[in-house]
Amino acid sequence: MPDIYANWSRSLPNIHFHYLTTTPEQVTRNYMEFIYSTYPGGSFDTRPLNFSNWEETLHVRSFLLDKIFQTFPNRKFVLVADTSNSDVMTDYPALVKQYQGSVQCILLRNTSATDPSDRFPYNTAGFEGLDQRKFMFFRTPDDLFNLDLAAGECYNTSVAQNLTFGYQGLPLNLDDPAPVNGSSGGSSNAVSSSNAQLGLTVSAFLGTLLWQLL
C-alpha cells in the first residue's frame, strides 16, 4: 500500500491524506511515527477520551468522520480500510447515503481472502443498493493500480466482488446465500465527477489493524 499511496500523492492534484485510528491518543505515537515514515504526510485523528460525551467515545469513528465531512463539504473523499473492522463495514456505506456526492470511492481490502490468520467474518449488507462503480473490495494493492480516482473510477472489473449483502467469511462455510454480484457485476465506465477540481481527501482507517494496510 505505500507504493499506491505514493502514486496517488504524485498523480492526483490537490490531494490530502487523513489517517484515522480508534486507538486513544495517549498511545498513538508509534502509529504516527510509522505512518509519517512510510506513507505521505497528512492529518491524523485519534480516539478522544471524552468521558463527558459518551457518543464521542463509544462511536468514535462515525463521530470523527461526520466532523470531517461537515468541515469540508466541498471536497471529495476516498475511504480506505479493510473488512476486519465491523464499524467500517457500516459507517462507510452510510456516509455515501448521508453525504450524497461527497464520497468518491470506497476501497476495502478483503483480508479474509488473503490472510489465513486474519479471517474475520464481515457483513456486506450496507453495500446493497450502492452503485458498484463507487466501491471495490480488493485483495492486493495491485488491484488498485491504474484506477482513475479523480474521475470517479473506483472499480477494477477484473476483481471479483462476490458479495452476498449479508455475513461472509463465516467458519464452516456458514455464509449467507450464494453471491449476487461478481466480477461482471460492474462497469468499466468511470463515474463522472464535476467537482474533482475541488480537491480529493483520502481517509484511511488504521487503529489496531494498521498492518493490514501494508
Q: Where are the domains of the chain?
A: 2-213
pLDDT confidence of residue 201: 74
Please report the DSSP string for 138-181 in residue order. ESSGGGGTT--GGGT----TTS-----SSEES-GGG-PSSSPS-
Task: Count CA atoms within 13 Å of residue 5 on its CB side.
Answer: 22
Quote the pTM value.
0.81
Q: What is the mean pLDDT of each run of 10 residues along the chain (214 residues)?
A: 92 88 76 88 79 64 88 92 88 94 93 71 91 93 92 91 84 59 41 43 49 29
Cα separation, 194 vs 147, whole angstroms: 18
